[in-house]
Chains A and B, each alone.
Chain A
Amino acid sequence: MRNPLAVTVLLVTGLLLLGFASVSEAQLVLYDDFNSKPINPAKWSGFESDFGPAAPNTETARKIANGKLNLVLTSYGRTDSDTGTLGNALVSLEINNPTVVTTIQVDVTVKSAKVRGCAFNTTATRAAARVMGDFFSDGTSPGPGDRTGDIIAGTVSQRDSLAGDQIVAFVARCTNASCGSSTTLASQVFADTWTKGVADTIRMQWLPSPTKQFVFTLNPAGPSPETHTLSYAVSDTTPPVLPHRRLYTLTRPANCMSGPRTSATAKVVFDNVMVNP
């Protein structure tokens, strides 16, 4: 005979989990479905980051087309080294009032991701779609405007010239003033990956102290949602130096002196941005 208490606990737990999942979905509200032009300046602001003439950005686009946000960027690597990369170039759209957003959900479609890597450089060239936020500081910023200690989290749907196509969730800590460098606190590669032209719904939820977790879910309403929880141990009670919630295309061409010039192009469509109420 089964233990009636155990059965009850399991049943309640299952119901609670089902209920919790459906409540989370139901609690999100539409932020923007991009069904009207132009991009709404009350909700969004655009931004581009580049590395100048040695590793130039060339073509770019930030526009609404066919009821979706399109972000495009092409960048090239340096030609005076076979080591490393200058970093991530990006074209983004950022939520204008980011601090109220603790959960963000976005449909992400990689329309094109092209990478030309360098056979003489162990650093990969990448082209990617990112959904990312700068959520809090661990309190170690040494001064005003210095992002050292800001904690960023997000997902990246990337083509990597060495690792192939992946969707990765990550939590990282900025290690310099501009957050041009960071250390990964936790990361997880999703079992599923992106397919060119196919939308993935990506949800990121921040659960601050005492939970201290970020929960990432791929295709939460699909037949087989995939969820990963990344925990952190640092203090999360200090606001970040530069809060943001950002959708962007990312290019990271490796440096290459001994082979053809590296390049990365990402064309990404974003749609149905949902956030916590």
Chain B
Amino acid sequence: MEVRNSMRKYRAVAVVVVMPLVLLGFAGASQAQLVLYDDFNTKAINPAKWFGTERSLGGVSPNTEASRKLSGGHLEIDLTSYGRSDSNSGTAGEANEALRTTNPAAITTTFQVDVAVKSISAVDCPANSASTFTSALVIGAWFNDGTSPNPGGGDRTGDVNGGIEKAKSSKLGDYIAAFITRCTNASCTTRDSIGFHTFATALTKGAFDTLRIQWDQPNHRFIFWVNQEQAVLGYVFPDANPAVLNFKNIGIESFASNCMLPNQRTVASAKVLFDNVMVNP
């Protein structure tokens, strides 16, 4: 799963166009064109549609509780991760728990998911300027800008990711945001923020919001929705090449800040419901 450093470390490297518009007619037409991928009204997660993954950072910054399961007709994912206790700088990195679509290349333009945050917490480290961060995430890798030095060898440099997160930052609070990032190394552990927009819609615990990502390739932009609220983020990269690592994921990602203060171990924890995954035909 990918992450943005936006709001934590925002650096626009391309033209960013933010147009918070409410285009009800357009939204209605797009909705009608989507097809159901999974409503999770089954007994078990469908292995033909999904595979689960967890990213952990080892004993110094451990994941502890985690799960992926179907419950009440929803997919429920939870994750708890802790920060390092030997530094007051930065975070240990990204931990995540996710369900990934088995054929992400078929999701070419639109990925929509209903997302409800049941619980979310992020314990801060006052001695660290980096916040503890965790989010429910809908995200995809949509194209490569042609700068990967070795796409056949899996170098993800230049892959462009777009997604929407329902997030908690220990320093900035709760928010829902759309983002575009560009991978800057082979494994995509470093990224530039290309665009970022905070929605007016607030994160309300327990409430489902419909999050939709639409890649509008002809106009070199992404259109993001939270329910009927829309934002448009543009880019100026070539976008004809497929992503080196194509993925379309739903899940949780966390960055627990490092903290050496006594009795102040940082922890990021979230429990999230996902439902009604819709995609382009």
Contact = CB atoms under 8 A, between A and B. Distances in A.
Contacts of B64: 38-41, 44-46, 62
A48 interface: yes
Given A57-B53, A63-B67, A41 B102 contact: no
A45 B56 contact: yes
A109 interface: no
Interface string A233-255: 00000000000000000000000
Interface residues of B, number: 28
B47 A56 contact: yes
B51 A48 contact: no
Contacts of A61: 66-69
A62 B69 contact: no
| Residue of B56, B62, B80 with most partner-chain A CB within 10 A | B62
A94 B64 CA distance: 10
B51 A50 contact: yes
Interface residues of A, number: 29
Contacts, number: 94
A39 B65 contact: yes
Interface string A39-74: 111001111101011001111111110000000101
Contact of B58 (A39, A45, A56, A74): A45
Contact of B53 (A50, A72, A261): A50
B179 interface: no
A94 B67 contact: no
Interface string B97-124: 0001011000000000000000000000
Contact of A46 (B63, B69, B265, B267): B63
A231 interface: no
| Residue of B51, B58, B69, B80 with most partner-chain A CB within 10 A | B51
Nearest to B63: A46
A76 B45 CA distance: 11
A96 B265 CA distance: 16
A57 B51 contact: yes
Contact of A59 (B69, B80, B265): B69
B67 A46 contact: no
Contacts of A44: 62, 64
B54 interface: yes
A6 B223 CA distance: 90
Contacts of A39: 64-65, 80
Contacts of B45: 58-59, 74
B62 A46 contact: yes
Contacts of B265: 41
Interface in A258-272: 261, 263
A250 to B, nearest CB: 15
A15 B185 CA distance: 65
A134 to B, nearest CB: 14
A170 B189 CA distance: 38
A48 B67 CA distance: 11
Contacts of A263: 47
Nearest 5 CB-CB pairings of A with B: A56-B51, A45-B62, A39-B64, A58-B45, A48-B54
Interface of B: 44-47, 50-54, 56, 58-59, 62-70, 80, 82, 100, 102-103, 265, 267
Interface of A: 38-41, 44-48, 50, 52-53, 56-64, 72, 74, 76, 94, 96-97, 261, 263
20 contacts: A38-B65, A41-B64, A41-B82, A45-B63, A47-B63, A48-B56, A53-B103, A56-B51, A56-B52, A58-B44, A59-B52, A60-B68, A61-B68, A61-B69, A62-B64, A62-B66, A63-B66, A76-B47, A96-B62, A263-B47
